[in-house]
């Protein structure tokens, strides 16, 4: 979309999808936090392994025309994740006695190096070869930048499906926003009548990933509140704040500190409104 000069519309699709997905997730959190506790207690290593294998298969299927390339990328990622101390016996694995590798490769550094730097280098080489055709002022003025709310909600199936996928992933501790985004993108592509347009300017690709990864945020508090198990790093920090104030997260938290929990729910819904306002201004 940016290459077509529609970067403004792409940002609006991302903002609206993010706010909508997060709001749906927050509402599901309010409704499902109590009954989910009984289901989540039954998840063990077998269920987590099945979810991860399903994610790997789906990633291979949506990685372009060659699933083999997707499987190679997944294998490299799994291999890199083994660097560090063994979680069972504490032995070193490919650390080369380097203390900084005991906790494994830093995810942020790896992502910046593999994704951001690759994009920057690609653009530098494109400019060196002659660059892409840039739009003139007259051509840019003719490009549609508005995004009517009716046009956005015409993709309601993708919005709802992606929000539910993100919420489902968020309710399982430790899976995170990346898995939700990939699962949602793959599902949207398979459900689309024109899957070949994904990655070539189809806004449903933006909607699927943004709605799903934002929906994880609210749902992550389900295991935090119901089980006392943090769903992500932010939830772990929240648990630490609770404990400092003498509040123990877990099944009895709803009955003993109900007013605090519902104040938290209200603040999350209000934050979505602030998110929309700041996003629009930006």
pLDDT digits over 82-126, tens only? 899 888 888 899 988 888 888 888 777 777 787 778 788 888 888
Per-residue pLDDT at 135: 60
Distance of CA 162 to the CA centre of its chain: 10
Rounded Cα–Cα distance for residues 135 and 161 (Å): 36
Does pLDDT of 67 surpass 70? yes
Least confident range from 63-72, 163-172, 184-193, 255-264: namely: 63-72
Per-residue pLDDT at 209: 93
Q: What is the DSSP letter of 99?
A: G
Q: Which of 136, 158, 150, 163 is nearest to 219 (CA)?
A: 163
Residue with tokens 């046009």: 151
Q: What are phi and psi of 174, to 5 degrees?
A: 90, -5
What pTM, to 2 d.p., does this model score? Answer: 0.69
Does pLDDT of 208 surpass 90? yes
Per-residue pLDDT at 12: 92
Residue with tokens 């599902």: 187
């Amino acid at each position: 979309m940016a290459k077509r000069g529609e970067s403004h519309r792409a940002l609006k699709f991302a903002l609206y999808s993010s706010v909508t997905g997060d709001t749906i997730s927050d509402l599901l959190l309010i409704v499902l936090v109590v009954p989910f506790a009984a289901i989540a207690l039954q998840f063990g290593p077998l269920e987590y392994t099945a979810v991860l294998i399903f994610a790997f298969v789906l990633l291979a299927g949506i990685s372009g025309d060659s699933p083999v390339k997707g499987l190679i990328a997944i294998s490299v990622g799994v291999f890199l994740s083994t660097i560090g101390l063994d979680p069972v016996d504490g032995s070193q694995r490919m650390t080369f006695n380097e203390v900084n590798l005991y906790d494994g490769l830093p995810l942020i550094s790896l992502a910046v190096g593999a994704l951001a730097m690759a994009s920057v280098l690609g653009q530098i080489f494109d400019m060196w070869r002659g660059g892409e055709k840039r739009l003139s002022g007259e051509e840019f003025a003719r490009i549609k930048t508005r995004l009517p709310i009716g046009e956005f909600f015409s993709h309601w199936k993708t919005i709802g499906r992606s929000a539910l996928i993100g919420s489902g992933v968020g309710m399982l501790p430790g899976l995170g926003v990346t898995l939700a985004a990939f699962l949602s993108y793959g599902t949207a592509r398979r459900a689309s009548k024109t899957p070949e347009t994904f990655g070539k300017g189809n806004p449903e690709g933006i909607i699927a990933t943004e709605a799903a990864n934002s929906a994880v945020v609210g749902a992550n508090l389900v295991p935090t509140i119901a089980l006392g198990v943090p769903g992500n790093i932010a939830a772990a920090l929240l648990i630490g704040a609770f404990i400092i104030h003498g509040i123990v997260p877990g099944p009895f938290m709803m009955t003993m500190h109900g007013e605090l929990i519902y104040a938290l729910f209200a603040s999350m819904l209000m934050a979505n409104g602030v998110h929309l306002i700041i996003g629009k201004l930006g």
